[in-house]
Structures are given as C-alpha cells and as structure tokens.
Amino acid sequence: MKSYPFFRIRTLVAGALLLALAVLLAAQTAVPDDRYRLSRVPDRIILTWSGDPASTQAVTWRTDASVHSAVAQIALADAHPDIESAARTIQARTTLLDVEDVGLTHRHSVGFTGLAPSTLYAYRVGDGEQWSEWFHFSTASREPEPFSFIYFGDAQNDIRSKWSRAIRAAYSDAPKASFMIHAGDLVNRANRDVEWGEWFEAGGWLNGMIPSIPAAGNHEYWNDERNGNARRLSTQWRPQFTLPNHGPEGLEETVYYIDYQGARIIVLNSMEAVGMGRAEDQARWLEGVLRDNPNRWTIVTFHHPVFSVARGRDNPALREHWQPLFERYGVDLVLQGHDHTYGRGTNLMQGTTVRDGEAGPMYVVSVSGPKMYRIDAGAEWMDRLAEDTQLYQIIHVEHDKLLFEARTVTGELYDGFELVKLENRRNRLVDQMAGTPERRQNLPAAAAPAASETP
C-alpha cells in the first residue's frame, strides 16, 4: 500500500474544504431573491380609480397563477362585524403576467361601480377560500368639499429600507388623506419584481385604504433589447394599477385625469414627452382637458421638471409644449420629481422672471427616497430648496384656498405656502416657508453624486 506524506494529505483536505466552501458560496449567490413569494393569498392590494371617485373605486391585487376565479366583495361599512352577509360579490378581470425572475403570476382587478357618494365601504379580495382582510375606503363627495392628499417625489432606491419611513410618516400626519400622488420613479428597475415587492411592502395596508395616483418616470421604462432597444413601460404597470384609459393612444393609464371634489388632477407622461417625442400629442390632449374643466382647482403631476433643480438637468420640450398651457388655463400646482432634490417656486411667466407677488402655476420638485443629487448653482427659479433630505408633502384643498406643506421624513415642516383663489386673476401667494435653515449637502462638490442619468 502506497503511503502519503502527512503534509500532502493535509493539503488535499484543505483543498477539498476550500472547494466545498467555494461551491457553497456559489450556490448561495445563485439563490434568487425570493422575499416576495407568490401564493394563493392576495397581496399587493392597491386602490386606484379608473372612473369617477364619487361612484367608483378600482382595486388590483396579485396571486400565483393557480387562482383563476378571483373575486372582490363589497358592503356598506358598519360597526357590526358580520360584513359577509351584506356583501355583494364581483368577479375580477384576471391578467396573466410573466414576471422577470419570478415566472407566471396573476393580477386581478375589480372596478366597483354604482357606489353612493361620501360613503364608507368595506371590501375584501380573494378566491372564495383565501381572502384578504376587510379594508375600508370612502367615496368622494359629488360636490366640491375640502380634502387633503399626499404627494411623493421619487421613492426609487432602498425602498423597503428607507422610503418606508416617508410613506409611513406621511400617513401618520394625514391619515384621512383622500389619495397619494407618486410623481414617478417608484422603483429603480422597471421590471424587477423585488423592487415592486419592496414598494408594496413599504406602503402595506395603506395602499388598500387610500387610493394611489401614480405617474410613470424614466425608471418605469426598460430597454427592450430584442426589439431594437425600444423603451417600454414596465410590464407590471398596467396589470397592477387600474387607471383611466382616456389618454392619448398608447399612453393609456399613464396619461389621465381624475376629478375629486372640485379639483382636477391631471397625470402626464413626461418620459414619453422628453425622451420619446410625445410632448406635442400630450399637449393636444392636455389642452382639451384644461379647456373643458369645471373644477376650481387644477393640479398637474408628472416626473421630469419643467424647471430643473439639479445640476446637468434640463427638459426644454416641457417648457415648449406644456408650460404655455399651464399658464393659459390657470393651472394652480405642478408636482414633479426626477431631480432628487427639493425646489419650489413660481412667477415664471414665459419669457420673464419678474416676481409680482401673485402666483402663476406653482412648480414643485421633491424627493421621498434616499437617492440625492446636488442643486444647480445656476437655477434661480426656486424660493425654497433642499439637498440631502427625504420629504413628503401634504396638500389641503378648500373652496378658495390651497395649503401646501413639505415635511421632512422626521416630521418637521420644511416648506409651506397658501394659494388664494381670486376671481379672474392669478392666485395670491402667501408664503409660509419654515424658518429653519436651508438644508444643503455638507459635502465637497467632487464627493457628491452628479445627476448623470438620462434623460
């Protein structure tokens, strides 16, 4: 029998151990991120509108692909716990969606119709065996009545870890908010399921109670390499958000409006306008929606700013095609994202920078997630600005007054103003900016990330 020197055996054993360790590590890194596993139990439940908020409500949710017959049940909400016996059942529309890194999933959507205005309802979703909890929501009034809503700039990165504190702080401050506006870049990679999983986890059950009004940002688009690198909307967007289909052709559910208690909320798709040549046809649609507008207040939201805050950013197509309409038709408030900074200002009638104490459209750029850029030293349109600060905004709308508050995620008032509606004149602006010092990055210029993404 051949004998081996001791050191050789030791070398072989050590080599085998190292190999085993390498195989183990490789196996671990190959494990997919399956934090948001599918099951028959409904998740990612979210309220949106595809019709009139006084008489309709849409709900969308996710299950695995084994659930073919999904339903929602709805009843007038009552303190009596036997909700089931009073509920009516509505069959869902089910969409099969092949999700990157996950496989086949089902998205189910129900549009509740014929609802009474200003009424509290209870609903749940499921398949007859597996149910969500009962959620409550309120329909809007048919008449103009005071209400509040929440507006977020980009969530985009570290959504579960750090954006969650933004949406939860906003809810703590405005638990009766009528809806939440998300001004684009809800996630970083349009089709990456774990990012949507994080977004839905951060909002959790709030999404089942307070309707969302989402706008698509550049990060909701992906490069279709198999089709000439065409830029396409996230495959998840339409299946998971049930939104109005009345936008320009091809932009349905990303260009739409909703009338809520005396305010028209208009959502535009700035990604297609800035990067894909679709500013003009959206302008034609927008003009119709602004011209025939019976509401006292008009609020427009989209992702890319008309006036940029961050270094190296500019979207002239929006100033050419949209800004003149905002001014001609008296848009009150324009809510944007994309620049990962905060900026708020007005009185920029086209071709002039004269400040006359009255407010034309008020432009706001904000950020709710943790990704931060530097402010462009040459940008002079802002009356209040911030760097390196996660924020959320609460807007309160009354008959002749709109109150805007920007708060840091720690709940401090950072910026505020009031717009007073005057007959046949521009709004009066009452500045209510917080007295706290301007928040700027305390970093040398070279150390701070530049705004480098395009468009």
Q: Which two tokens stand for residue 309?
A: 């805050």
112/392 with CB nearer Fe ion: 392
- Do residues 212 and 229 lie in contact, with contact meaning Cβ atoms separated by under 8 Å? no
By CB under 5 A, the residues from 394 to 453 that bind Fe ion are: none
Scanning 36-44, 182-190, 392-400, 435-443 for contacts with Fe ion by CB under 5 A, the matching segment is 182-190
Give the span between the Cα atoms of 59 and 49, in whole angstroms.
Answer: 8
Residue 379 C-beta: closest distance to Fe ion, Å:
17
183/300 with CB nearer Fe ion: 183
Residue 165 C-beta: closest distance to Fe ion, Å:
21
Residue 154 C-beta: closest distance to Fe ion, Å:
6
- Do residues 341 and 385 lie in contact, with contact meaning Cβ atoms separated by under 8 Å? yes
Burial of 331 (0-12, 13-18, 19+ CB in 10 A): buried
Residue 322 C-beta: closest distance to Fe ion, Å:
17
Three-class SS state of 260:
strand
Q: Which two tokens stand for residue 138?
A: 């309120």
Figure out which of the listed residues 106, 124, 313, 338 binds Fe ion, where binding follows CB under 5 A: 338
311/338 with CB nearer Fe ion: 338
Residue 217 C-beta: closest distance to Fe ion, Å:
4
Give the span between the Cα atoms of 28 and 173, in whole angstroms.
Answer: 42
303/384 with CB nearer Fe ion: 303
Q: Is 218 an interacting residue with respect to Fe ion (CB under 5 A)?
A: yes
Q: Would you give the DSSP letter of residue 163? A: I
Scanning 35-43, 212-220, 248-256, 373-381 for contacts with Fe ion by CB under 5 A, the matching segment is 212-220
140/451 with CB nearer Fe ion: 451
Scanning 120-128, 215-223, 284-292, 323-331 for contacts with Fe ion by CB under 5 A, the matching segment is 215-223
Three-class SS state of 425:
coil
- The distance of Cα 99 from the centroid of its chain, to the nearest Å, equals 20
By CB under 5 A, the residues from 247 to 306 that bind Fe ion are: none
Burial of 90 (0-12, 13-18, 19+ CB in 10 A): middle
Give the span between the Cα atoms of 50 and 59, in whole angstroms.
Answer: 10
* Count of positions (residues) in the chain: 455
Strands of the sheet with 88-91, listed across from one edge: 88-91, 71-76, 120-126, 135-138
Fill in the per-residue mask, 127 to 166: x = in contact with Fe ion (CB under 5 A), - = not in contact: ----------------------------------------
Question: Count of residues binding Fe ion (CB under 5 A)?
Answer: 4
Residues paired with residue 386 on neighbouring β-strands, in sequence order: 342, 439
CB-closest chain residue to Fe ion: 338
Residue 219 C-beta: closest distance to Fe ion, Å:
6
123/199 with CB nearer Fe ion: 199
144/214 with CB nearer Fe ion: 214
Fill in the per-residue mask, 349 to 388: x = in contact with Fe ion (CB under 5 A), - = not in contact: ----------------------------------------
323/341 with CB nearer Fe ion: 341
Scanning 109-117, 137-145, 185-193, 246-254 for contacts with Fe ion by CB under 5 A, the matching segment is 185-193
Residue 336 C-beta: closest distance to Fe ion, Å:
10
127/185 with CB nearer Fe ion: 185
Strand (E) or helix (H) holding 435: none
Scanning 158-166, 178-186, 197-205, 426-434 for contacts with Fe ion by CB under 5 A, the matching segment is 178-186
185/405 with CB nearer Fe ion: 185
Task: Enumerate binding residues for Fe ion (CB under 5 A).
Answer: 185, 217-218, 338
